[in-house]
Each structure stands twice: as C-alpha cells, then as structure tokens.
C-alpha cells in the first residue's frame, strides 16, 4: 500500500455488490456526481465513484485500504474481479497473504454467524488465542475451519472451548426485528455486537498483540456505525478472510457456529418444525407452514423479517 500517495483503483462490480455499496456508503454520498456516474461518495481520504457501466473507482491516499473489502466482496458475489491499480498497473490480490508475525502472535479475533439465515439468531464471538495455543488448535484442524461441517464443529469446539477465553452475544430474531430499520441496517447491528464482545474480552485479557475483525465493512464505515456507541474499541486490525490470518478469528467463527447450531436446534424443537438454514426456497416452504399453523406473528419472533423471503410469504 502506498500510504501518503494518491492511488486510483478501479474494477467492475455486479449488481449485488453495487447495491451493497450503495447501502453502506449512503451516509457519505455527495450531492453532485460526475457525468455518467450513479453516485459519488467521500469516505475519509477516499473518493468513491460508481458509474452506470458498473465500474467503480477509488481515488485517494487510502484507496488501497478502502477498496480491499469491496474487491473481496465482488470476488465472493461474482467469482472473479479484475483490478487496475495506478501504482502497480497489476491485478491486485493480497487477500491470501498470511503475515507470520501476525499469525504467530497472541491475538483477540471476532466473527459472527447467522446473518444469512432467515431463521435462527445472530451470534457474535470474540476469542483470545495466545501464541502458545496455536499448535494445539492446528492439531484440532481449527486452521481448516471453512472445510468443517456442522457435525465436525459439534465435535471439535468442546475440545478447545475451555482452553481459551471468549465472549459471545446471541441476538434473537425478535430483538433483531426490533432494532432493524432504515437507519440501523444489518452491518450496523453487527458492528455494535462486535464492539461489545471485543470490549468485554479486551477488559479481561491484557497480553494480546492484536485485535482482529473478519472484515464485513470498510474501517471508516465500521467506526461510523459506532459513532454513538460507548466504550468503542479502536486498536483493531481489519482483514478479509480473517480466519486465515489468525486462529483467534477461526476460533471465534467456530464458537459462534457451535452456539448457533445449538440455538437453532432448540428453536426447531420449540416450534415443532425442522427449520432449514439459509434463505432459499425450502425456507419459504417451512415459513408458510409456520404462518398457516401459528399466524404471521410467530415469524416476527423467529425470522429476520427484512429478508426478501417475507415478501413472498405475505403474498401466499
């Protein structure tokens, strides 16, 4: 990254990424836009412009940092991304780099699960992994957490959960629906929850080298979400694919998933239906059955009503 020098980074985004950007950057959009642009935003030292063609341009001292999250997002949404960087004139792909200095340090990491599931809570966890626990966790295959199934997680997490310090928050969908609004979106809720668990854990752990978040929003946007919060943790390192960068994030991800599975099963048992995960067609089928049996009000307690599934369920 060429800190201090103006950079120009550009790439083309799909409609899904464009919509996500429009939502996340709505708070800093400019009134006037260049010709052929849909919008232009000023985020810190970076000017971001989305053109009608789908091309997005980041310009400024922090263009590298500001664009990293959206490059990774576009890669997830479309499977590929071609990036032009005025400083290197080469395709930019540094998301897979693992810094040994960070990987083998003692760190607090945070991650969440449940944000893409219509049913089930959101669980956010911060975990502390001291460097003397890294080899132990690697032997348990924590390093390969993305390859683990739910059944694997139910076996592995009990083997290490008592060996490390962690803090978790469970946000029920009833609470989620209460807080979600046009001014409080999913990412703002996530930022508030991440900050809470990071603050709690950092008060109990003093010998850490880094605090790492598996990045779900650019740094400036993340802290803007917390502008009205108290006890904001600021000494944070943001990484895409954070669980590869340090096992604290991987542990946070696994513990969150472990808790989510347990809560999800409790919810299924209490409702009398085997609830599907995700937000696909099977979810719609089960949600309609729940509505028919208990009324739509039941979904207000167990589902995230801002998902598009709700519109389809209301139509039936």
pLDDT at res. 96: 58
pLDDT at res. 5: 65
Question: Which one is predicted more confidently, 87 or 313?
Answer: 313
pLDDT at res. 69: 87
Query: What single DSSP character describes residue 141?
Result: T
Instruction: Please say whether the beta carbons of 51 and 21 come within 8 A.
Output: no
Q: Is 127 helix (H, G, I), strand (E, B) or coil?
A: strand
CA distances in angstroms from 15 to 12, 19, 21, 50, 200, listed in the order given: 10, 6, 10, 11, 38
CA distances in angstroms from 141 to 8, 106, 111, 256, listed in the order given: 40, 18, 18, 17
Could you tell me the pLDDT band of residue 78, with boundaries at 50, 70 and 90?
Answer: confident
Strand 122-129: give its sheet, edge to edge: 165-171, 122-129, 107-113, 210-214, 237-239
User: Could you state, in order of their start, the residue ranges of all structural domains in the chain?
Assistant: 7-85, 100-266, 273-315
The CA distance from 96 to 98, in Å, is 6
- The sign one gets for the Cα dihedral 147, 150, 155, 156 is positive
Could you tell me the pLDDT band of residue 128, with boundaries at 50, 70 and 90?
Answer: very high
pLDDT at res. 32: 85
Query: Which H or E run includes 108?
Result: strand 107-113
**Beta pairing class for 84-85 and 210-214:** unpaired
pLDDT at res. 252: 96
The CA distance from 10 to 87, in Å, is 12
Mean pLDDT of the chain: 90
pLDDT at res. 88: 59
Instruction: Say which CATH topology domain 100-266 has.
Output: Nucleotidyltransferase; domain 5 (3.30.420)
Superfamily of domain 7-85: TATA-Binding Protein (3.30.310.10)
Summarize the confidence of residues 256-272 as an average pLDDT.
96
Q: Is the pLDDT of residue 4 over 60?
A: no
How big is the chain by its Cα radius of gyration, in Å?
Answer: 20
Summarize the confidence of residues 29-36 as an average pLDDT.
86
């Amino acid at each position: 990254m060429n800190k201090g020098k103006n950079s120009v980074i550009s790439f083309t985004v799909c409609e899904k990424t464009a919509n996500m950007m429009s939502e996340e950057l709505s708070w800093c959009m400019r009134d006037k836009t260049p010709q052929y642009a849909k919008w232009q935003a000023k985020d810190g030292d970076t000017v971001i412009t989305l053109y009608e063609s789908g091309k997005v341009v980041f310009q400024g001292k922090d263009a590298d940092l500001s664009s990293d999250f959206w490059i990774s997002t576009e890669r997830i949404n479309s499977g590929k991304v071609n990036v032009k960087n005025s400083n290197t004139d080469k395709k930019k792909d540094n998301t897979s780099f693992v810094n040994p200095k960070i990987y083998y340090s003692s760190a607090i990491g945070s991650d969440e699960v449940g944000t893409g599931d219509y049913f089930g809570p959101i669980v956010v966890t911060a975990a502390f992994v001291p460097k003397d626990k890294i080899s132990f966790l690697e032997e348990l295959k924590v390093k390969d957490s993305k390859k683990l199934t739910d059944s694997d997680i139910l076996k592995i997490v009990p083997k290490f959960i008592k060996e490390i310090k962690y803090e978790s928050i469970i946000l029920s969908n009833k609470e989620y629906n209460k807080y979600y609004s046009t001014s409080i979106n999913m990412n703002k809720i996530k930022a508030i929850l991440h900050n809470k668990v990071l603050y709690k854990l950092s008060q109990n752990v003093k010998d850490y080298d880094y605090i790492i978040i598996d990045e779900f929003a650019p740094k400036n946007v993340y802290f803007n979400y917390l502008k009205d919060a108290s006890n904001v943790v600021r000494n944070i390192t943001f990484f895409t694919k954070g669980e590869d960068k340090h096992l604290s994030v991987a542990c946070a991800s696994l513990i969150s998933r472990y808790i989510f599975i347990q809560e999800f099963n409790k919810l299924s048992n209490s409702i009398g239906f085997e609830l599907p995960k995700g937000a696909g067609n099977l979810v719609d089928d089960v949600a309609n059955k729940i509505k028919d049996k208990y009324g739509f009000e039941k979904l207000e307690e167990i589902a995230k009503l801002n998902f598009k599934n709700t519109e389809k369920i209301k139509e039936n």
